[in-house]
Amino acid sequence: MLLIVLAMLGVVYAAVGQATTADAATDTAATQAQVTAGHKLFQEGCSSCHGLGAQGTQNAPTLIGVGSAAADFQLSTGRMPLAVPGVQAPEKKIQYNDTQIAALAAFVASLSPGPQIPTAKDLDYAGADLALGGQIFRTNCTQCHNFAGAGGALSQGAYAPNLMSASPQEIYEAMLTGPENMPVFSDQTLTPSDKQAVIKFIENIRTEPNPGGWSLGSVGPVSEGLFVWIGGLLALIAAAVWIGAKVR
């Protein structure tokens, strides 16, 4: 009897054990398949600049250690693959579909540990502290991205992009990986809950109505002054011409 029970227990244990190993196996297998697919895509589309081993060349940085978050950010915003070398990779039409991006990200992540694509839990900013997000945004982000997230110029033709259409995942990944000239805001100095607060603040300023009327791009006195000087002066000149014109 005891033997039977033990045997049954053994069978059950083995079955459960096997089931879990099998699950793990499918997981790794999927990842492995993704890595293989990603490697193939990488060799076709990326290796000419980043090198066959992703070690980087004179034309492009190494991808070893940049992590899946960096790959996902660059690919899902269309910045990579690069159309032409230049000061900065512009945002453009996305070249790969979601599966391919996931495969490429898995391949890049397999090279060396690096920042990972944020999970749905990381991106859940519903409970985040909006006021803290504003403080962090004003201390760390406004200098380049403008007080309303409208973006701004850097040096030598580089620029900080407009944040109005960036998804929470893109914002999170950008803070985590520091694409191009953007500094890295690590999870230690800007914790995940700080990052969620920043995302919440950006989402909030996006939907904020504009009591003053047309914001003219929210870039401050430059566009407003230009509009007043050009539009306002033209209107004044037109009025002066009308007042001075002789009536027949």
Partner 1 sequence: MSDTDNAIAGETGSSTQVVKPPFVANPDLPPHGARRTDVDPKAAKRAEHQVATCFGLSALATVAFCICYVQIPIDAYLPIPFFGAWSASNLALGLTFGLAAFFIGVGAIQWAKKLMFGGEVTQMRHPLASPPEAREEALEQFWAGADESGFAQRKIVRRSLLMAMSLFPIPLIVILRDLGPLPSDSLYTTLWRPGMRVVLDPTEAPVRPSDIPVGGIVSGMPSVLPAVQEEQGTLNARAKDVVILVRLAPEDIKSQQGGTSSQPWDYQGIMCFSKICTHVGCPIALYEQRTHHLLCPCHQSTFDLADSANVVFGPAARRLPQLPITVDAEGFIVAQTAFDQPVGPSFWERA
**Binding footprint of partner 1 on the chain (CB under 8 A):** 132, 135-136, 139-140, 143-144, 152, 154-156, 158, 178, 180-186, 188-189, 194, 209-215, 242-243, 247-248
In the bound complex, what is the minimum distance in angstroms from residue 213's beta carbon to partner 1?
5
CB 30 within 8 A of CB 97: no
Instruction: Closer to partner 1 by CB, 58 or 188: give it.
Output: 188
Instruction: Closer to partner 1 by CB, 24 or 222: give it.
Output: 222
Instruction: Closer to partner 1 by CB, 117 or 136: give it.
Output: 136
Instruction: Closer to partner 1 by CB, 57 or 99: give it.
Output: 57
Tokens standing for residue 134: 């504003």
In the bound complex, what is the minimum distance in angstroms from residue 156's beta carbon to partner 1?
8
Instruction: Closer to partner 1 by CB, 23 or 187: give it.
Output: 187
CA dihedral 200, 201, 202, 206 (to 10 degrees): 100
Q: In the 8-state DSSP scheme, what is residue 238?
A: H
Q: What are the helix (H) ranges across 46-151? A: 47-50, 67-76, 98-111, 130-140, 142-145
In the bound complex, what is the minimum distance in angstroms from residue 20's beta carbon to partner 1?
34
Instruction: Closer to partner 1 by CB, 21 or 186: give it.
Output: 186
Q: 167: closest CA among 67, 97, 68, 72? A: 72
In the bound complex, what is the minimum distance in angstroms from residue 88's beta carbon to partner 1?
10
Angstrom distances, CA of residue 31 to CA of 34, 38, 60, 106: 5, 10, 26, 7
In the bound complex, what is the minimum distance in angstroms from residue 77's beta carbon to partner 1?
18
In the bound complex, what is the minimum distance in angstroms from residue 16's beta carbon to partner 1?
40
Instruction: Closer to partner 1 by CB, 6 or 184: give it.
Output: 184
Tokens standing for residue 227: 């509009």
Q: Could you give the CA distance from residue 134 to residue 21 in angstroms, rounded to a whole number?
A: 46
Q: 66: closest CA among 180, 189, 161, 214? A: 180
In the bound complex, what is the minimum distance in angstroms from residue 15's beta carbon to partner 1?
44
Complete DSSP assignment for 123-162: T--TTS-HHHHHHHHHHHTHHHH-TTS--EE-STT-EEPP
